[in-house]
Chain A
Amino acid sequence: MKKLWKGNEAIAEAAIAAGCRYFFGYPITPQNEIPEYMSWRLNEVGGSFVQAESEVSAINMVYGAAGAGGRAMTSSSSPGISLKQEGISYLAGAMVPCVIINMMRSGPGLGGIQPSQGDYFQATKGGGHGDYHCIVYAPASIQEFVDITYKAFDTADRYRVPVMLIGDGMLGQMMEPAEIPPMKNINRLPKKDWAVDCNNGGTQRLINSIKIDANELEEHNIHLAQIYEEIAKKETEVETYLCDDAEYIFVAYGSVARICKASIDELRKEGIKAGLIRPITLYPYPTKTIAKYAKKRIVKKFVTVELSMGQMVEDVRLAVNGKKPVEFYGRAGGNVMMPGDLVKYIKEGK
């Protein structure tokens, strides 16, 4: 049944439905409703919540709980996600699956608390040290946030990688109708034979990211790269909107993609054929979809629209590979473009 949900609270309830029983967080705007909701709700379902002393500590609690086989999650916003990067690198290195939510705010530094997409590079290109990736989703509505949070725990477990969902204050704070999927029975989740449990005299299970021998570590790096390749094949998600006959193609994700759709509808009323490619996964990136449209004769140009000074545009340029012009339209600092701004941009032929 659909109910009116605040974004952050819907994410928290979807995580619980997915079997998340361990949440560790630290207050930061605009994601506070997630830890607040988890603090009482996890108690009801027999889980555990800790308000950690810092984001650094929270992500390491996730490492412990997820390394011990629990479904664990943390959430934060940009400056807090920076603090979690050390832990995320360890989670990736030790192959401990978990779910991380980043309700992005504007930066750099302490920045502001209004919507931004300034953490694209951090989320998709590593963020922490070393040779690793997280699977990164960028939902555009509260229902999509719910659905992806719900499946993110399965995806994380399947590949043993951290999964990150990125949104912004707009998605976290607004209310929309959404349906929470059914509560999973945590006793029926797939068994994790790698997780530390009490080994009952059996072979030691070890959660570890130190591999001091160069050959052993290279083997591990190659193994991770193979997993990322598999993920790219099976998990890449993208939505196209009115792209088939489009001459102008916007590329945008998250809340910005919704603004682009409104612009496209307005442009089409005036006979201008515009469309949208919306990456749902930012890593793996839907390079093939963009490359396919880049080859189409009818396409005049791509316009990447972001709440930043230009980050995802680099991946769009790599995918287009010089076949068509790739332009950039961005707002920053917490300012958000209006649909009319993009209509004007296309009509004035900039």
Chain B
Amino acid sequence: MIVQKKPQLLTDTPLHYCPGCTHGIVHRLVAESIEELGMCDNAIGVMPVGCAVFGYNYFKCDMLQAAHGRAPSVSTGVKRVHPDALVFSYQGDGDCSSIGMCETVHAAARGENFTIIFINNGIYGMTGGQMAPTTMEGVKATTCIYGRDPKINGNPIHVAEMLATLTGPCYIERVACDNPAHVNAAKKAIKKAFELQIAKKGFTFIEVLASCPSNYHLTPLDAQKFVTERAIPFYPLGVIKDTTKEEK
């Protein structure tokens, strides 16, 4: 039997996330990766506005809570002062790809040496289930109650692919947490992004396809099934950009 211990970077504060939400898993993967890289004493996190707004309660490292969508700019400022710190921003789809898309794109284009952990569950969680830029066609939200219709509501954005067109990013991967194999792959991707940041290779971006049982009105298990059956076919997993491979 494999017994997993709790990462030392996480606090004992009970998570406020809904049952079946992916945030808890990703928090753990981020904390584990930082710990394994020996960076617990040298990490700074920037939290978004959205469900992860209280994320600073769960990490022991120093943190900043940013205005909605501005975490990439805040991280840019932090990294200029502490170039050797491991800086990550942790942002949802509304934060990172709607109100903060401009900040995300330009931080990526500048090749800022920090990592964005992008939690894409295709819906606004904290405000109660409104349509997000990543909400898929046909998916119901409180601001598109008959399901997203591109003619009325516009089209979803493939953020990782879009950022991959820029020169600045060195590593972009899309992962999911809908089964143990995918969780392990997600961990590997997050850790690799941090390693590249430590090596000062430039901007790194990990998109995590996440579940939101509460706002999709699904059981925790069915919410994972939604990721497997609906989200992954539309948002394919895998490495989308890796310039470090070419260097070898």
Looking at the assembled complex, report how far the CB atom of A67 sits from the nearest CB atom of chain B, in whole angstroms.
Answer: 5
Check: B41 CB closer than 8 A to any chain A CB: yes
A26-63 interface with B by 8 A CB criterion: 48, 50, 52-54, 56-58, 60-63
Q: Is the CB of B73 within 8 A of A57?
A: yes
Check: B63 CB closer than 8 A to any chain A CB: yes
Query: Interface with B: A104-112, A206-214, A242-250, which one?
Result: A206-214
Q: Is the CB of B77 within 8 A of A206?
A: no
Looking at the assembled complex, report how far the CB atom of A42 sits from the nearest CB atom of chain B, in whole angstroms.
Answer: 10
Inter-chain contacts of B61 with A (CB < 8 A): 198-199, 204
Complex CA–CA separation, A288 to B75 (angstroms): 43
Q: Is the CB of B62 within 8 A of A65?
A: no
Looking at the assembled complex, report how far the CB atom of B114 sits from the nearest CB atom of chain A, in whole angstroms.
Answer: 10
B52-91 interface with A by 8 A CB criterion: 53-54, 56, 59-67, 70, 73-82, 85
Bitwise interface map of A from 158 to 200 toward B, beta carbon under 8 Å scored 1, else 0: 0000000000000000000000000000000000000011111
Inter-chain contacts of A208 with B (CB < 8 A): 56, 63-65
Check: B43 CB closer than 8 A to any chain A CB: yes
Q: Provide the main secondary structure of the chain B interface.
A: helix
Inter-chain contacts of A207 with B (CB < 8 A): 63-65
Complex CA–CA separation, A198 to B56 (angstroms): 14
Inter-chain contacts of A90 with B (CB < 8 A): 66-67
Q: Is the CB of B78 within 8 A of A68?
A: yes
Q: Is the CB of B40 within 8 A of A201?
A: yes
Check: A7 CB closer than 8 A to any chain B CB: no
Complex CA–CA separation, A94 to B62 (angstroms): 14
Bitwise interface map of B from 30 to 64 toward A, beta carbon under 8 Å scored 1, else 0: 00000000001111101000000110100111111
B191-234 interface with A by 8 A CB criterion: none
Looking at the assembled complex, report how far the CB atom of B219 sits from the nearest CB atom of chain A, in whole angstroms.
Answer: 28
* Closest chain A residue to B59, Cβ basis: A204
Q: Is the CB of A69 within 8 A of B106?
A: no
- Residue in B41, B44, B53, B74 whose beta carbon sits within 8 Å of that of A60 in the complex: B74
Q: Is the CB of A65 within 8 A of B56?
A: no
- Residue in A62, A86, A199 whose beta carbon sits within 8 Å of that of B77 in the complex: A62
Interface centre among B40, B59, B81 (most CB of A within 10 A): B81
- Residue in B44, B46, B65 whose beta carbon sits within 8 Å of that of A209 in the complex: B65
Q: Is the CB of B82 within 8 A of A198?
A: yes
- Residue in B46, B77, B103, B106 whose beta carbon sits within 8 Å of that of A65 in the complex: B77
Check: A330 CB closer than 8 A to any chain B CB: no
Q: Is the CB of A56 within 8 A of B81?
A: no
Contact of A86 with B40 at beta-carbon distance under 8 Å, contacts A57-B73, A68-B78 already known: no
Q: Is the CB of A22 within 8 A of B81?
A: yes
Check: B157 CB closer than 8 A to any chain A CB: no
Check: A87 CB closer than 8 A to any chain B CB: yes
Looking at the assembled complex, report how far the CB atom of A186 sits from the nearest CB atom of chain B, in whole angstroms.
Answer: 12
Inter-chain contacts of A24 with B (CB < 8 A): 77
Q: Is the CB of B70 within 8 A of A199?
A: no
Q: Is the CB of A60 within 8 A of B56?
A: no
Inter-chain contacts of A58 with B (CB < 8 A): 73
Inter-chain contacts of A197 with B (CB < 8 A): 62, 82
Looking at the assembled complex, report how far the CB atom of B48 sits from the nearest CB atom of chain A, in whole angstroms.
Answer: 11
Complex CA–CA separation, A48 to B76 (angstroms): 11
Inter-chain contacts of B106 with A (CB < 8 A): 52-53, 57
Check: A72 CB closer than 8 A to any chain B CB: yes
Q: Is the CB of A67 within 8 A of B78?
A: yes
Q: Is the CB of A61 within 8 A of B62?
A: no
Q: Is the CB of B63 within 8 A of A210?
A: no
Inter-chain contacts of A201 with B (CB < 8 A): 40-41, 60
Looking at the assembled complex, report how far the CB atom of B225 sits from the nearest CB atom of chain A, in whole angstroms.
Answer: 33
Q: Is the CB of A67 within 8 A of B70?
A: no
Complex CA–CA separation, A52 to B85 (angstroms): 22
Check: A3 CB closer than 8 A to any chain B CB: no
Q: Is the CB of A68 within 8 A of B103?
A: no
Q: Is the CB of A65 within 8 A of B41?
A: no
Inter-chain contacts of A56 with B (CB < 8 A): 70, 73, 102-103
Q: A-side interface residues toward B, CB under 8 Å?
A: 22, 24, 48, 50, 52-54, 56-58, 60-70, 72, 86-87, 90, 94, 196-201, 204-210
Query: Which 8 residue pairs of A and B lie closest in terms of their CB atoms, listed nearest first?
Result: A64-B77, A65-B77, A60-B73, A196-B62, A64-B74, A68-B81, A53-B106, A60-B70
Q: B-side interface residues toward A, CB under 8 Å?
A: 40-44, 46, 53-54, 56, 59-67, 70, 73-82, 85, 102-103, 105-106, 110
Q: 20 A–B contact pairs at CB < 8 A?
A: A52-B73, A52-B106, A53-B102, A53-B103, A56-B103, A57-B73, A60-B66, A60-B67, A60-B70, A63-B77, A64-B81, A65-B80, A72-B77, A196-B78, A198-B42, A198-B82, A201-B41, A204-B56, A205-B63, A207-B64
Known: A67-B74, A210-B53. 15 other contacts (CB 8 A): A52-B106, A57-B102, A58-B73, A60-B70, A61-B76, A64-B74, A64-B80, A64-B81, A65-B81, A67-B78, A197-B82, A198-B82, A199-B62, A201-B41, A207-B63
